[in-house]
Structure 1
């Protein structure tokens, strides 16, 4: 947006991430002092819905959440109740406040389950555990391990019945009154290693496409249009689902930008982002101008990702330089970096260096475009997945046969 000629000020609340963006744009230490200066205010995270509502009531143009959409994401039980209320079927899930209670439940009702932390703990994506044992014995072992390592600090969590199928996300922008087309269909790659091995990271990369017509959208997000309008929500919302031949089963909401989803969406949006966000926040109805075909993106990360370990980060990654073999930064999105004397240095505390995107008329074209760009980057000790987009080959066949594309 800054490159398009707009003035921009950036505020980061998270203490360990204060340096991010330094040298790229103007940083401020108190965002509230600059609300009168801004034509547009963007909140890129959940939990600020009440503040967003107050600012909108003052006549400010705001992209961000609402109290209602914060609850959809942060309170899994509330989200499930709302899905049922909007006549969308959900997988059986059960809320627990302690581990022993959950273990006794599995012993009485043996099945394959998924452990899903609620509230603040759900930010630790590696704690999400997808069981594979039909008796739930693997889930019991993990619950016992969590009890030893976390004790009472874990908070509430859900056990959700596991179902096999294709994991897919349906995302769209909302202008306060209605959804803006086209909608975005997304395939996330959450495990650390290729072929879905290793711990859950939250995200290692994503493939996607835009479409005006989607049976998946009509069966899920579209049903929330009136409720989102009532909440005066303006922003981006995503619903993650498992789909199979028996139907569509929503898992959870993300009522904010997704990461790296928003950066990869940007690779597919052909109109200026400043204009796009301004129109959205003004409540205008318009079609988003997007590329045909597919967009794909991969995170380049450094130690200790996906874990938090300050000593390891300081030793291996802090202030490491991002080097480009050729001076071409197309498709390169700086993540947790600062810019010192035109050198990109890694900062923050999580070890996400870059998001690299690619586009193409076919998924193979988009992958080739992205990985060619990855080859232009050198980051010491970095790692990334080499199979982002491969899921599409099999998943698309299944989705076609189920009538969902």
Structure 2
């Protein structure tokens, strides 16, 4: 089978690495890909939003399966375009990808089907939002409705901060059309946990848990980013939490989407908050998380192609998902200045140190090939991942591996997985 992967980040590199292990796969392409993905796939210069060009490429090269890694093409309807051309593709259709594409939709869905989440209100008028915020309890959370690269969420401690947030999202349109509608949500406290899942429209199979670090700086300070590191499994995701989520969140979400005439086939990422009142949904994503994929996929025992085909064919109930009894930690190496402004084009040294080293991985996020060099080409540059017998061992290994790689303006957080020390 020939496989096409759509995307260019660390998540797509992790997917390509996992796909390359399948005996079912003879050739891999990636559009547009990056310098690391090129080790496993032939990168083709077609953008992720060029649906017609991608479908034409898939037909011309007799691609047996296309895996869409990114949120934008899924929300934009790439799956519908591919299916209309008779092509086999993994990911939700446009009417199901709205689960991530519109926070207002997902909040309304949870309210309608009694899925635990924070109290909220939706606004399309800045004046009405400001009037509501005058009587709100703080801190409070403002969320741009649409896709905003994981950065369209603002936590406001005062009315003055909330005023500024409304201006950013709805008036100045800092996040573009994502700010046409805004969700104002109660501030929840507790541990955040991410749970990825495979879904075939009716059956859901959850993967191992993970925990992301969104803020740019140590101690969860600084601006929100696409993710500065993650670990798996989360010691706070207990059997009791899992049982609650299966009963009240996971299957109810799949059933709700089916009941709305939007059957979901693909990946649902559940962003959870373990509040004092019990687990609640923070957000849904309609694809693998990034960098969550970089710690979850190295622990997955199954052939990913077999699982994906079961999702497409509606036979996921016949799959037994299995994960290694170990742990993984990913530390993102970024360009200093991310997520605001940063320079790129610097040569990266030390990547060969990961070759033939079992349990150590370097997933490329923002890299490019320039002559014989691999150079920095983004804010998040690399995801350095290591496994270990437990979380502390994996963290120690990951930070050891971070030192193998050098590039000018290299930046990373020093406290990824620090919460591990607080677990009982």
TM-score by length of 1: 0.82
Partner of 2:31: 11
The farther-off stretch of 97-106 and 203-212 is 203-212
Does 1:184 find its partner at 2:220? no
- 1:268 corresponds in structure 2 to 299
Contact 1:165–1:242 (Cα < 8 Å) also in 2: yes
Match for residue 153 of structure 2? 128
Confirm or deny that 1:235 pairs with 2:263. Answer: no
**Which of 217, 226, 229 is the aligned partner of 1:193?**
217
- Contact kept, 8 Å, 1:40 with 1:281, in 2: the verdict is no
Higher mean C-alpha deviation, range 189-198 or range 79-88: 79-88
What does residue range 336-347 of structure 1 map to in structure 2 within 5 Å?
336-340=366-370, 343-347=373-377
Note the C-alpha offset of 1:56. 4.3
Q: Structure 2 matches for 1:58-207, cutoff 5 A?
A: 60-120=87-147, 122-123=148-149, 125=151, 127-133=152-158, 136-143=159-166, 150=173, 154-180=179-205, 182-207=206-231
2:327 matched to 1:294? Answer: yes
Query: Unaligned 5+ residue runs, structure 1?
Result: 398-405
Q: Give the unaligned 5+ runs of structure 2.
A: 1-18, 47-52
- Contact 1:321–1:343 (8 Å) recurs in 2: yes
* Structure 1: distance between partners of 2:354 and 2:384: 15
**How far apart are residue 156 of structure 1 and its match?**
2.1
1:311-348 C-alpha deviation (Å, 9 max, x unpaired) = x43xxx2253243473536311122223456632222x
Paired residues in the alignment total: 379
Distance 1:71 1:147 in 2: 20
CA distance in 2, matches of 1:151, 1:88: 30
Q: Cα offset for 1:166?
A: 1.6
Q: CA RMSD, aligned part only?
A: 3.1
> What residue number does 2:363 align with?
333
Distance verdict in 2 for CA 1:24–1:341, change over 3 Å: farther
Q: Contact 2:189–2:273 (CA<8 Å) still a contact in 1?
A: yes
Instruction: Provide the secondary structure at the position in 2 that maps to 1:385.
Output: coil
Distance 1:74 1:327, change over 3 A: closer
Alpha-carbon distance in 1 for matches of 2:55, 2:81: 12
- The 3 A distance-change label for structure 1 pair 366 and 203 is same
Alignment partner, residue 400 of structure 1: none
Cα separation, 1, equivalents of 2:376 and 2:384: 15
- Matched residues in 2 for 1:302 and 1:254: separation? 26
Q: Please, what TM-score do these two structures have when normalized by structure 2?
A: 0.79
CA shift in 2, pair 1:59/1:179, >3 Å = farther
8 A contact 1:21–1:339 mirrored in 2: no
Candidates 367, 385, 405, aligned match of 1:377: 405
